[in-house]
Each structure stands twice: as structure tokens, then as C-alpha cells.
Amino acid sequence: MIKRALICGISGQDGGFLARLLLDKGYEVHGTARDAQMATFHNLARLGARERVTCHSMALNDFRSVLQVLVKVNPDEIYNLAGQSSVGLSFEQPVETLESISVGTLNLLEVIRFIQKPIRLYNAGSSECFGDTGGAPADESTPFRPRSPYAVAKATAHWQVANYREAYNLFACTGILFNHESPLRPERFVTRKIIASACRIAQGSREKLQLGAISIARDWGLAAEYVDAMWRMLQRESAEDYVIATGETNTLESFVAHTFAVLGLSWEEYVTTDPSFLRPSEIMISRGNPGKAHRELGWQAVCRMKDVIEVMIQAQQEMP
């Protein structure tokens, strides 16, 4: 039998890569956006998947809307990738962030419970929930200490999923993903901002790249690899949560330095720091321990920070 998947938030970076992965595995893929008739689904088109996906309009914070789409699609698997996705923007839009992530996740769980179908749910969690661990690698047993409205919302959704799994025996799990990047990121994300600016400078632009704290350290992986871990979580006999990361941490300064070096430039000549980019409560070091995912899912990141940078630079240079 052909499996049917519903990807909530299919227009984003992860949604595009996941759709392509599932299509390649023979799935019938459906996706949602708040207004599917108006959405461009640019990422799906860029990956050559747009014509192979059926898209539906769905407002995740509206229970009736969620119920209608789930009854219509009748999916075997649901991947919840929807909601406000920027940590920085969450400080400016805390209510929208909390509602779009936590209420949306709760509605999915409640509809699955209500219609009593054996649907498997993957929920997109975040390493931001751990807060600052002082450099210690975070695993599935590390306590949450969220330091942004985005992280608070993701932590809320995480515990909602755990509660429904234990209380109602739903197959529902959360992937606690560390930073994962790709050429599909919009430029409001710092990694894409760095790549795009550096490539323009290499082509003769006189601009300066303005950044906040370049001493912060992150675990950067490649998004196209991380969606495979999402799929693997839903193929297990029982639902569990997993940390997905490379296990390697680098500073933002290192990310910048390698980007400019690949382009034959010295980053110090072009980068300035701007205090306005600093967040009210910044996480200085983010480090993940993906050991459980490696042992139980057979998943391991292949690409590290330098590989991610080179993939993104190549894609940036090929853009018209």
C-alpha cells in the first residue's frame, strides 16, 4: 500500500526537503499552508516537487480547519513543521509565536485523538529549548531552560506531544533538531545572510556585513540530511524523542571566516558588529549529542559546518 503523508508547513525549508524525500520513497504527499491558493511554494518548485504534491489551506490554530483537512486527506503520517520559525522575530511577536507553535500542535494532537485513526505524528522541536548548557552536549535527558519566546513555545509543544503519547497512547514524537541550514533559508536567517552578503562582496559589492555576537557557537548541519531523521522516527515500533545534531560545534566567527576564505577574501575587512542585532537573552554555546539517534535510528550527520557552507555558496553563485 502507498503511504500518505501530510506535511504541515510544507512551504518552509524542511518541508521542501521532506516532501522530496517522501516522494522519492513512493509516498503520496500532501502539504498545508495558511492559504494554499496564494502561497507560491517556491521551495517545492525549486526542488522539482511542486507538481507532485497536493496542497491544502489549513490554519493550525483553528481546530475546525485542522479537523477538516485531516478527515479529507486521511494521512498515515503527519509531519508538523509549521509555526513561526525565527528566534529573533519571536521577541517581537511572542504571542503569534506561542500560538502558532503550541496551539497548532495541540490541535493536531486533539484531532488525531478525536478521529481515532492510527496516525503517526512527528513534531518539529528545537535545540533552543535547552538554553545555555554551559558547553555541555545536550541529549534527550538534558533539562529544558528556554531563553526566548520561540524556545518557550517549542518546549510547550514538546511536552504536549509527550503528554498525549503517554495519556492516550498516540504515536507522537518530537525531533529536537539543532541548527540545520540550506540554500532554501531566507536571508533573515544569519547563515544565509552571511553567504549571500559574502558572495555579493566577492562579485564587487562594497557593502559591509553587519552581525551581532560572532562569539556564539552553534552545531550546524545540512537540512536535507535532517529530514531523513524525521522520517526514521516515524518508522519505529514505538514513538520516542530524539536529538538530531552533528555533534560538532563552531563559533559564528568560524562560520564567517570559512565563508569568506572559500571566496578568497579576508572576513575582517568586510564584517562589522551591530549591537541592535543582539537578542535580550542569547545562548552562547549550543552543542548536541546525537548518540541515541545513531544507535536507534541508524542516523548520523555526514555534512559538517564547512560542507554546509560550501553547498550554500555553490547554490548562491548559481542563482540567476
Domain count for the chain:
2
- 15, 7 in Cβ contact below 8 A? yes
CA–chain centroid gap for 80, Å, is: 10
One domain, residues 76 and 117: yes
Residue 194 belongs to domain spanning: 190-217+249-287+304-318
DSSP string computed for 21-55: HHHHTT-EEEEEETTTTT---HHHHHTT-GGGEEE
CA distance from start to end of the chain: 41
Q: Using DSSP, state whether 177 is helix, strand or coil.
A: strand
One domain, residues 241 and 198: no
One domain, residues 164 and 254: no
One domain, residues 265 and 173: no
- 93, 50 in Cβ contact below 8 A? no
pLDDT-based confidence at 238, cuts 50/70/90?
A: very high
Q: Using DSSP, state whether 122 is helix, strand or coil.
A: strand
97, amino acid identity: T
- Residues 320 and 316: their CA atoms lie apart, in Å, by 9
* Average model confidence (pLDDT) across the chain: 96
The CATH number that applies at residue 16 is: 3.40.50.720
Average pLDDT of the residues in 224-241: 98
- State pLDDT tens for residues 110-130: 999 999 999 999 999 999 999
Q: Using the 8-state DSSP alphabet, how is residue 180 labeled? A: E
Q: Which residue in the block uniquely carries the three cell numbers 503527519?
A: 78
Average pLDDT of the residues in 247-273: 97
Pairing between strand 250-251 and 217-218?
antiparallel
One domain, residues 163 and 260: no
One domain, residues 94 and 64: yes
One domain, residues 67 and 30: yes
- Residues 306 and 29: their CA atoms lie apart, in Å, by 32
- 148, 279 in Cβ contact below 8 A? yes
Written in H, E and C, the secondary structure of 251-262 is: EHHHHHHHHHHH
Average pLDDT of the residues in 155-179: 98
Q: How far is CA 73 from CA 16, 29, 128, 287, in A?
A: 19, 10, 32, 38
The CATH number that applies at residue 279 is: 3.90.25.10
Q: Is the model more confident about 40 or about 106?
A: 106
One domain, residues 240 and 258: no
Q: Considering the entire predicted model, what is its pTM?
A: 0.95
One domain, residues 9 and 158: yes
Q: Using the 8-state DSSP alphabet, how is residue 296 labeled? A: I
Handedness of CA 248, 253, 254, 259 (dihedral sign): positive
- 6, 30 in Cβ contact below 8 A? yes
**Catalytically active residues, by annotation:** 126, 128, 150
One domain, residues 140 and 195: no
Number of Cβ within 10 Å of residue 272's Cβ equals: 8
Nearest Cα to Cα of residue 231 among 299, 176, 291: 299
- State pLDDT tens for residues 45-100: 999 999 999 999 999 999 999 999 999 999 999 999 999 888 888 999 999 999 99
One domain, residues 97 and 154: yes
Instruction: Say yes or no to pLDDT of 22 above 90.
Output: yes
Q: Which residue in the block uniquely carries the three cell numbers 515500533?
A: 237
One domain, residues 103 and 130: yes
- Residues 303 and 300: their CA atoms lie apart, in Å, by 9
